[in-house]
Structure 1
Amino acid sequence: MLKTRIITALLLLGGLLAAVFLLPALGWLLFCAVLGALAAWEWGGLSRFATPLRAVYALAIAATCLLLGGMAGLGGNTGMPAVLWLPYALAALFWLLCVPFWLRAKWQLGRGAAAVVVGIVVLVPPALALAHLRELGPWLLLAALAVCWVADIAAYFAGRRFGRRKLAPAISPGKTWEGAWGAVAGVLVYGLSALWLLFAPAASGLLAVVPALLLLTALSIIGDLFESLLKRQAGIKDSGSLLPGHGGILDRIDSLTSTLPLLGLAALWFAR
């Protein structure tokens, strides 16, 4: 299993790097829309949608990403980036204010209008943020993605080595507080090192970004736990089987769904 996971991860990384650096703006926006559609298909499975509805929902998510991305100018044409404020803000409010209570109360997603609306909030903003951050620079996008990658890897190894106290045993029994603290340490080391190497800011400048790094780490964990809860309630281990050794698309982007919209908000704020 570990060998399969490593091979799949390397293939995914190679494909992602090729897409990030080689695709034109419109091609990358299409890539993000397709990714959103695949995730939406799996979301339909978590929501117990009938197969025809799953297909319609996936196409609708892709069309929404293309429409909003095109309006914002992410396909290479002129546009209005301000269009992105609303989806990013809705996603931020959802992850910061709603999901912590959702996890605590263990609300059911259901299969009706609520599942449709929540899926839009969960899936469309991160797809737009992928396109948006790459528009600002491929290395900026990879640096943003690496926050979640580092958090996941650090949490895994810290949890394996030091894990004792369960973080959320009723949601994801394998996650521990020690793993969460490992994620915090990993992201802080990565984020502060990257900023120091790239920009050489003063110590006060480095300290100023610590709260943002802590928030992103917490959100990456929350995104992971949220998908774990939905899978547990749906009675499935993985959101899909598209990625050997890793499960489905949602299993790979769960942390990104909660962090990318806030990074997109930050990009809009600093670009004003």
Structure 2
Amino acid sequence: MGRAAPAAAAGKSGNWKDLRARVLSAAVLVPCVALCVWYGGLLYGALIVGAMAGMAMEWARMFGFGLETRRGQLCMAWAACVGIAALAGHWGGALLVMAAAIVLGPALWAGQVAIGCAGLSLLWLRYMSEPGAGVVLFLVACVALSDTGAYMTGRLFGGPKLAPRISPAKTWSGSIGGLGCAVLGGMLIAALLPGALPGALWRGAVFGALVAIAAQAGDLAESALKRARGVKDSGTILPGHGGLLDRFDGLLVAAPMAALLSLGAAGGAAFWYVGLR
């Protein structure tokens, strides 16, 4: 009995042991990403292509092909080529390059497709929709808010596990908290962006929720992959977060969803105006 309280306290404090590293990483990462998104051009293109290459490397490493191997190097270069082709305006060619990655084998090809679709979607949303920077910021912010909200509320309130066989740390309270944060963030961003149309608030809420659900699905999918491969993190490049895949796994699902929705918006408008003609 006498040892139970300290043990419980230690376990509770352990839930927050990575908070400082996460905050410090975010303090560097968020301004850099926001600057690249807002500035656009080659700066944004380089960010996306670099992220695609880095995530492809982490995916290959999870299957035993590190950067020192020929196949690992090829995975990294292949993903970069997909992004570069899109930046050059060859969208069809980018899709063909991505499809041709089947020569790497089914497991590595799946990574090329998942990462390639997300990267191409982020490029498409920035350069082919209006307002490009605002659209990407809405998407990235809602994904980040969902992740941060889930982290904070899950550790504050705990409760039943969301998917204990896939990711024992995730809880229903965290999932709901992340959803709520994304909804509030979506409402705020959609209403404040230049040229906001009537209904921006409720549309921001609805599509903020959709982005959060997609992001959490991507998070669970990556967790399932890591569990199947027997790894804790996809990498170590981001202290407190792990690898690029660990940080941006939500975008692997959310970005393609947003790009598909944008096809239904009139005149290349933001994807949360889908259906308006």
Give the TM-score range, shorter chain. 0.7 to 0.9
2:153 paired with 1:158: yes
60, 82, 85: which one aligns with 1:64: 82
Secondary structure at the counterpart of residue 71 of structure 1 = coil
Aligned positions, number: 237
Cα deviation per residue 1:41-67 (whole Å; 9 max; x = unaligned)? 000012223622111111011101211
Shift of 1:210: 5.0
State how far apart, in whole Å, the 2-side matches of 1:60 and 1:200 are.
Answer: 40
Q: Which runs of 5+ in 2 are unaligned?
A: 1-17, 269-277
CA contact (8 A) 2:189 2:204 kept: no
Shift of 1:201: 2.5
98, 101, 113: which one aligns with 2:105: 113
State how far apart, in whole Å, the 2-side matches of 1:177 and 1:159 are.
Answer: 8
Residue correspondence of structure 1 range 190-269 to structure 2 within 5 A:
190-198=185-193, 199=196, 201-202=198-199, 206-207=201-202, 210-269=205-264
Residue correspondence of structure 1 range 59-98 to structure 2 within 5 A:
59-72=77-90, 83=92
Amino acid in structure 2 at the alignment position of 1:201: P
Question: Could you state the TM-score of these two structures normalised by the residue count of structure 1?
Answer: 0.78
State how far apart, in whole Å, the 1-side matches of 2:71 and 2:187 are.
Answer: 45
Cα deviation per residue 1:180-220 (whole Å; 9 max; x = unaligned)? 11122112222223334443624xx6545655333322111
Distance 1:211 1:20, change over 3 A: closer
2:70 paired with 1:52: yes
Secondary structure at the counterpart of residue 269 of structure 1 = coil
Q: Which runs of 5+ in 1 are unaligned?
A: 73-79, 91-111
CA contact (8 A) 1:85 1:265 kept: no
Secondary structure at the counterpart of residue 263 of structure 2 = helix
21, 31, 35: which one aligns with 1:14: 31
CA contact (8 A) 2:49 2:80 kept: yes
State how far apart, in whole Å, the 1-side matches of 2:82 and 2:123 are.
Answer: 13
Shift of 1:222: 0.9
Amino acid in structure 1 at the alignment position of 2:36: A
Identity %: 32
State how far apart, in whole Å, the 2-side matches of 1:206 and 1:167 are.
Answer: 29
State how far apart, in whole Å, the 1-side matches of 2:35 and 2:192 are.
Answer: 25
CA contact (8 A) 2:184 2:205 kept: no
Shift of 1:254: 0.4
Q: Which has the larger radius of gyration?
A: 2
Secondary structure at the counterpart of residue 115 of structure 1 = helix
In structure 2, the partner of 1:39 is 55
CA contact (8 A) 1:69 1:128 kept: no
Question: Could you state the TM-score of these two structures normalised by the residue count of structure 2?
Answer: 0.76
Shift of 1:36: 0.3
Amino acid in structure 2 at the alignment position of 1:242: I
Q: CA RMSD in A?
A: 2.6
Deviates more, 1:252-261 or 1:183-192: 183-192
State how far apart, in whole Å, the 2-side matches of 1:264 and 1:84 are.
Answer: 18
